[in-house]
Structure 1
């Protein structure tokens, strides 16, 4: 995607906690749309190959979580982490990482990722179809800035990381704020 592009309009099938259900699994299905997540907000969206994977769990997700307040100070309303994983996996991963601020979006079928042009094969790792690693600043559903890792292709032999890092996105926001202040 490029700056100025509108995000794909899809429905995400999520599981949300509902204490009125009771029992050991108090969750219910709740469909959320692209508009539900992005309308009227300036957000950071980042996507990665898979929950529980090393780079995603060690650097990318914790980096966005740990810097949430700094992102808010730069005019970001929410930070979303998306992956081609189902809601059960995304929710358990967020729980295992102690995530309180970053919200996870399950793109279980890969529909959003495919329509964004970021769906790649990761058969070489036994993953199947997954997201290429990227981040974006999105303003009211429109891409303001796009940060894509180099080498987009199926079965890439490496897992590039840097362009979509929280530090790089923050650098963009700082520069944008500095330019706007002049």
Structure 2
């Protein structure tokens, strides 16, 4: 079942690159008591994700935070090293780059994308959500092109 507005974020873990290397961060650490914009991409360094989706949030992160958002986080079913390198290459130092390497959290959300036709295996659908203290208040899932999950769409919804 796909997560819906009003649902609590499932418990889970991500990997992020810390000062001393890869480290785990829980959903409780990210979402509890905070307003968070979480957006997900099918893959780091892929065309739309790198040319438009991530850059939109890099450009608008300050505007989004000015609307009361504590954290803007990018998630992908990639390993922590790829997510870290992608974040560095995109100047995304003000975003939290979350690796869901085994798609565990993506599966818990019910937002899996079968990318095996492209040799990509299990991935995340392209989406963005606003989460208030662990509860989803907005969920925008793109059916095809980047539209509903763009930084501009989320900024307009805040």
Q: TM-score range by the shorter chain?
A: over 0.9
1:93 aligns with 2:86: yes
Other-structure match for 1:37: 30
Other-structure match for 2:40: 47
Give ranges in structure 1 of 5+ residues lacking alignment: 19-26, 151-158, 174-182
**Would you say how many aligned residue pairs link Structure 1 and Structure 2?**
156
- Measure how far apart 1:15 and its partner are: 3.1
Cα distance in structure 1, aligned partners of 2:17 and 2:152: 30
The structure with more radius of gyration: 1
Aligned 1:7-156 pairs, distance under 5 A: 7-18=9-20, 27=21, 29-150=22-143
- Measure how far apart 1:8 and its partner are: 1.3
The ranges of structure 1 where at least 4 consecutive aligned residues each deviate by more than 3 angstroms after the TM superposition are: none
Other-structure match for 1:5: 7
- Measure how far apart 1:99 and its partner are: 1.3
Cα distance in structure 2, aligned partners of 1:13 and 1:83: 11
Other-structure match for 1:155: none
- Measure how far apart 1:125 and its partner are: 1.0
Cα distance in structure 2, aligned partners of 1:111 and 1:145: 21
In the alignment, is the contact (CA less than 8 A) between 2:126 and 2:149 conserved in 1?
yes
- Measure how far apart 1:89 and its partner are: 0.7
RMSD of aligned Cα (Å)? 1.1
- Relative CO higher for 1 or 2, CA cutoff 8 Å, sep ≥ 6? 2
